[in-house]
Amino acid sequence: MRVVLVERRSRGERSRMEELAALAKTLDYEIVAALEQIGGPNPAYHIGKGKAQELARLVRSSEAERVIFNNQLTPSQAFKLSRLVGVDVIDRFQLILEIFAMRAGSPEAKLQVEYARLRYELPRIREQVRAMTLIEQPGFHGPGEPEVDVRYDMVRRKLANLRRKLRSVGRSREQRRKRRRRRGFKLVALAGYTNAGKSTLLNALTAANAEVDDMLFTTLMPRTRVMGASRKVLLTDTVGFIDGLPPWLIEAFKATLEEIYLADLVVLVVDGAEPLSELLRKLRTSREVLVEYPVKVVTALNKIDLIPPEELGNKLGVLNDAVATIVPISASERINLAPLIEAIRTNIFGDSRAS
């Protein structure tokens, strides 16, 4: 699908267009054009009216089939933009939900994705159809109003049913955790920004053979495996973080995030090959999620095989001031994993020689 990317940002605000492009490419979308505007949001189109008309011309000239905004759009903004440009208009969060839907393999993941999608749609259903009705019959409630109420109630009932199923999944997962603890296992969660290398590290430390690719959100549901170097330690790979996720989306994946805040230790995986400013941004985003939970954290600076020695030294110098424990590693090349294993054992058992 041919898409145009759009971002509105305030003066001095950092652009996140590159990350939006990475999200679009995860779905194999072809990016044919990009449009940016610096300034405050417009209530009608989010971008200014002149910029919206420029977008419409750009869509026609590039033969784009869809427009993706990096900013969250209100239902009325998305509706008005779509009518103006002549193609479907979505925002960053709808794009993420589509990626989640593509990645969802297990029944649990499918439940979580469906719950998140309906949570996003619920406040929009009434407004979207009403907007169409008012255009057809200005000043009156159109004949579609009862239909909207029926659909709205149907979505609410489905959400309630999904909540019950997700609570059941959570109870089953909790029972598994309790059984593991009774057998003496310690739980370690691998967390971090999406595409930092968590699944690669899981494979390096266990016999997981988890799917690995250079795309975002490969892992949606937790995968738990025994750590090869310590038979009493279980490692769990978790869903990746991303900047600016709204609370309703985090709530939808609560079952996954429980693996983090109920763990004995979190290994926070950071992509060390990225520019320092980007590395620090993603580290900050990850720590904002983890600060909610009173759990010990060891930071793994991953992909050191891609970093020149001097640059690595500079990054470690900066990060040593920001985090308590940091271990430079390369999960893909199996470099420096022994010190990471030692840090895991020490933080869990108090003695790196313990099992």
Q: Confirm whether 71 is domain-assigned.
A: yes
Question: pLDDT at position 353, please?
Answer: 55
Concatenated DSSP letters of 31-95:
EEEEEEEESPPBTTTBS-HHHHHHHHHHHHHHT-SEEEESSPPPHHHHHHHHHHHSSEEEEHHHH
Whether residues 17 and 83 fall in one domain:
yes
Give the mean pLDDT of 225-251.
77
Whether residues 324 and 212 fall in one domain:
yes
pLDDT at 263 over 90: no
Most confident of 149-163, 199-213, 319-333: 319-333
Q: Confirm whether 147 is domain-assigned.
A: yes
Whether residues 58 and 200 fall in one domain:
no
Q: Confirm whether 216 is domain-assigned.
A: yes
Whether residues 294 and 158 fall in one domain:
no
Whether residues 128 and 93 fall in one domain:
no
- Measured between alpha carbons, how far is 148 from 201 in angstroms, rounded to an integer? 48
The one-letter amino acid code at 338 reads: A
| Residue carrying the six token digits 């427009």 | 67
Report the domain count for the chain: 3
Whether residues 62 and 115 fall in one domain:
no
Contacts of 38 (CB under 8 A, 6+ apart): 8, 9, 10, 11
Return the minimum-mean-pLDDT range out of 125-129, 147-151, 203-207, 341-345: 125-129
Q: Confirm whether 174 is domain-assigned.
A: no
Whether residues 227 and 276 fall in one domain:
yes
Structure tokens given for 112:
């979580």
Whichever domain contains 93, its CATH number is 3.40.50.11060
Question: pLDDT at position 140, please?
Answer: 45
Whether residues 290 and 330 fall in one domain:
yes
Q: Would strands 230-237 and 186-192 be described as parallel, antiparallel, or unpaired?
A: parallel
Biggest alpha carbon–alpha carbon distance for the chain: 75
**pLDDT, mean over the chain:** 84
Whichever domain contains 259, its CATH number is 3.40.50.300
Question: pLDDT at position 340, please?
Answer: 95
Whether residues 195 and 323 fall in one domain:
yes
Give burial (CB, 10 Å; 0-12/13-18/19+) of 31: middle
pLDDT at 87 over 80: yes
Whether residues 149 and 40 fall in one domain:
no
Question: pLDDT at position 124, please?
Answer: 75
pTM listed for this prediction: 0.75
- What range defines the domain where residue 150 resides? 104-163
Whether residues 154 and 286 fall in one domain:
no
3-state DSSP helix/strand/coil % of the chain, to nearest 5: 50, 20, 30
Q: Would strands 230-237 and 223-227 be described as parallel, antiparallel, or unpaired?
A: antiparallel
